[in-house]
Amino acid sequence: MLHRIARARSLANITRRSIAIAATGWLVALALMLADGGTKPAAAQSVRGQITDAPTRPLGNRRDILELRSGTRHEGSLQGCSAQACALGQRSFPRPEVSVIGLAVSAGETPAPVADPSQDTVQLRNGTVVKGKLLGINSQAVVSEQGSYQRAEVAWVVLAAPQRAERGPPGDRARACDRREVFLYDVLVTGEKSGSETVQRMEGEFAFSYAYSARYPRVPVTVERTCGTDDIKISGPTDNDPHLGSATLNSYVWRDSLTSKIQVPTGGGRAFSLKGDGRAPVFENTIPACGFDVAMGGLGAQIALSGYIPGSPGDGATLSMHSLVRPGEDRHRALIQARHKEECNKSKHHISNVGVFDGLAYASARGEGSAQFYKKPTEVAGVELDPPLLNLPGIIGTRDGDSAEARKLARGDSFSVSSGRRTYEGADNQGSVKAATSVTVTFSRAR
């Protein structure tokens, strides 16, 4: 059974170059080698001991290429390939869509004909051809089941077509055992968050709101059925090997008109006007009202997902997914801070405006219900949806029950799950609070 998905902060240690492979014996050492550029594992050395190390040379007028099964060809600099995807420049391509990988090849070059298209083939520059499943490519090495090769030695990798289950009605496919299907989904995450508050003995209010979206084209979802148990495993991008997308902060609005008044000196060396001197006391606002708007697109985002459907009657299906802005690419936060610095904190009395950017200032400090409202997940359709935050998440976790969405993924169906618009209102002798949130995740089957 899958446990409830970790919160967004668990993704801080994601390594882009990590390649998710089976955790067995020498493959574990192989994954470490790919992550840090270390030496070959013992098993790989035994197969490829005769290969001498050669430094990676500059591409010059050569280019890395990806040829897709659709017939399109993309050129650029290949960052790497994993079991899930290949990254070329700033774009990510699901591995099931890739048919040929060229490494530092010249215009007009083509791979040698492949005798057995059911197997991956690594073609070296010296003419050697090695058959075996490709495990991954990084900046230094190309690794297959047959061994590890210096990247500079490899000219082409021809990938076998992904295995698919036999065609038939959805019900027949769902009952087939020992079958493997790969579905591609366009995933859209949208979220909204807003709040406002008033404070006793202060005028005006503090308010903020924002909306966001994250898009992930052609996310590969693998469905595997096991004979004997009828269990169904749903595999997608992982934390260590996420599928990449793009997020947009559509509109961030920040307003602070909360202010109180203080009595100020009236001149003549006196601190304050005195009773009976014929002048009324003078008061000034302590903090000038301020506000700003922010919008930003092109933020790097990542998604990971997994699911499980047990064959035993009575056991519930589970689904876990998280989408968020990639760590280190949250440029919108710095922009919000900069805009606040430009527009606010201009009181001549050296009193600052509200400094919170993703919640309510005074209500949260008092432990109002709104603080929990912004943290508590929404239960819907057998899963939990986390509330929106400034890392622009779409987080689905498992809970007791049965996830209808996991079963839809296993059938290759499109679906959408939404928290709906949730609202909160509260008041006490210190002020009043209003808050609202909404998150929606949509899986659209790509054709």
pLDDT at residue 263 in the model: 54
Alpha helices in 156-285 (DSSP H): 170-175
pLDDT at residue 45 in the model: 30
Exposure string of 278-293, with b = 16+ CB inside 10 Å and e = fewer, is eeeeeeebbbbebbbe
pLDDT at residue 269 in the model: 43
Query: Distance between CA 256 and CA 340 in Å, rounded?
Result: 11
Q: Average pLDDT across each block of 10 residues of the chain; the chain has 447 residues. List them in order.
A: 32 30 31 35 28 38 85 86 87 88 88 86 93 91 89 94 53 56 93 92 89 94 81 90 93 88 51 49 68 93 92 79 90 92 78 82 66 84 88 85 84 92 87 92 89
pLDDT at residue 330 in the model: 86
Does residue 116 sit in helix, strand or coil?
coil
Residue 38 is classified by DSSP as -
Structure tokens at 255: 């307003």
* Residue in 18, 64, 52 with CA at minimum distance from that of residue 37: 18
Burial of residue 50 (CB within 10 Å: 0-12, 13-18, 19+) is: exposed
pLDDT at residue 268 in the model: 45
Q: Which residues contact 322 (CB under 8 A, 6 or more apart)?
A: 5, 6, 8, 11, 303, 304, 305, 393, 394, 395, 396
CA angle 307, 309, 315 (to 5 degrees): 125
Q: Which residues contact 243 (CB under 8 A, 6 or more apart)?
A: 84, 85, 92, 94, 216, 219, 220, 236, 237, 302, 303, 304
Query: Distance between CA 9 and CA 298 in Å, rounded?
Result: 21
Residue 286 is classified by DSSP as S
Alpha helices in 215-354 (DSSP H): 331-343
Other Cβ atoms less than 10 A from the Cβ of 180: the count is 15
Domain residue ranges of the chain, discontinuous segments joined by +: 18-158, 170-259+288-445
Query: Distance between CA 382 and CA 240 in Å, rounded?
Result: 26
Exposure string of 401-428, with b = 16+ CB inside 10 Å and e = fewer, is eebebbbbbbbbeebebebeeeebeeee
Query: Distance between CA 248 and CA 172 in Å, rounded?
Result: 40
Query: Distance between CA 189 and CA 387 in Å, rounded?
Result: 12
Query: Distance between CA 84 and CA 344 in Å, rounded?
Result: 46
pLDDT at residue 350 in the model: 66
Kind plus residue range of the DSSP H or E element containing 31:
helix 26-36
* Residue in 77, 91, 80 with CA at minimum distance from that of residue 240: 80
